[in-house]
Amino acid sequence: MNIFWEQVGSGLVTGGIYASVALALVMIYQATHQVNFAQGEMAMFSTYIAWSMIHAGLPYWVAFVLTVLISFVGGVVIERVIIRPVENAPVLSVVVVFIGLLVIFNSLAGWIYTYTIKSFPSPFPSQPLFGFRYVSPHGIGAIGVTLVVLVLLYAFFRFTPLGLAMRAAAQNPASARLVGIRVGWMLALGWGLAAAVGAVAGMMVAPIVYLDPNMMSGVLLYAFAAALLGGIDSPGGAVLGGFIVGVLENLVGAYVIGNDLKLSLALVLIVGVLIVKPAGLFGKTLVTRV
């Protein structure tokens, strides 16, 4: 039974990370109806930036905040400079651009930082808190950070004028322009936020899986599965989906198919969701009029 709760515990930790990346994916999807295939690599690159700062002697939380800010600006710049020119191109061309980004980030990371695995520090104490043995202290900290980020985002979108404007721009860009919202910049902001959230996710997962340029590809796949499971246009669903996928992954890996094939769970989940309920648990089912 101990093993079960351990698996659930670490599943919640990784689930929180999947939830964050899934949220970033959903945010960009809601605003642009595009899936950002490069989300994982951007998060990985941000984590490397944090690593360089920590290595240069900066205290952890200073590096953390700086990385989040840099990632935010980076996301905004990428949207304005690289994505905007192909806004109206066919879907496939946009997918290729995302793939180009993915490849560039992956390769740059490998070039600048080499492919040797690096360890990434955790800001949380290494002794188990209150003797709680099912989740490591870093795990609890990671879940905590994830929840804080999610709550902040929720509050931002729900209660601030800018958040309202971003929601409006995503739902109905034409009407948003008619009330004076600069829709292009709202898109860029969305990208910035998604990049920042991704950076947090990367910094939380790196201590667990160690830092290397391919760190995020598995995470990205699980995040896709989570976003689909929750509903690709439901932020709350994406978060819940993330936790579910995290726990499921660990339980299935421990009890059913072994760790090697864990990734295929993501495939099964994705295909399964898409067949049974394409809108996901909380997404809006689209009924098209013939």
What is the binding site for other proteins (CB under 8 A)? 34-35, 37, 82, 85-86, 89-97, 99-104, 106-108, 110-111, 161, 164-165, 167-168, 171-172, 174-183, 217, 221, 224-225, 228, 232, 260-261, 263-264, 266-267, 270-271, 274-275, 278, 290
Question: Rounded to the nearest whole angstrom, what is the least distance from the CB of residue 210 to other proteins in the complex?
Answer: 19
Q: What residues contact 191, with CB distance under 8 A and at least 6 apart?
A: 28, 75, 76, 78, 79, 83
Q: For residue 33, give the nearest of 87, 79, 74, 93 by alpha carbon.
A: 87
Question: Rounded to the nearest whole angstrom, what is the least distance from the CB of residue 142 to other proteins in the complex?
Answer: 24
124 SS3 class: coil
Q: Judged by CB, which is closer to other proteins: 137, or 173?
A: 173
Q: Judged by CB, which is closer to other proteins: 63, or 238?
A: 238
Q: Judged by CB, which is closer to other proteins: 3, or 89?
A: 89
Burial class (CB in 10 A: 0-12, 13-18, 19+), 62: exposed
Question: Rounded to the nearest whole angstrom, what is the least distance from the CB of residue 104 to other proteins in the complex?
Answer: 4
Phi then psi for residue 92, to 5 deg, are -60, -40
Question: Rounded to the nearest whole angstrom, what is the least distance from the CB of residue 31 to other proteins in the complex?
Answer: 14
- Distance (Å, whole) CA 134 – CA 8: 8
Instruction: Please give the DSSP secondary-structure letter assigned to residue 83.
Output: I
Instruction: Please give the DSSP secondary-structure letter assigned to residue 56.
Output: T
CA 212: distance to chain centroid? 17
Question: Rounded to the nearest whole angstrom, what is the least distance from the CB of residue 219 to other proteins in the complex?
Answer: 12
Q: Judged by CB, which is closer to other proteins: 52, or 172?
A: 172
Q: Judged by CB, which is closer to other proteins: 9, or 190?
A: 190
* 129, 135, 140, 146 alpha-carbon torsion, rounded to 10°: 180
Beta partners for 118?
211
118 SS3 class: strand
Question: Rounded to the nearest whole angstrom, what is the least distance from the CB of residue 67 to other proteins in the complex?
Answer: 21
Q: Judged by CB, which is closer to other proteins: 80, or 167?
A: 167
Question: Rounded to the nearest whole angstrom, what is the least distance from the CB of residue 150 to other proteins in the complex?
Answer: 20
**Cα separation values, 243 from 11, 12, 75, 230, Å:** 7, 6, 25, 10
Q: Judged by CB, which is closer to other proteins: 90, or 131?
A: 90
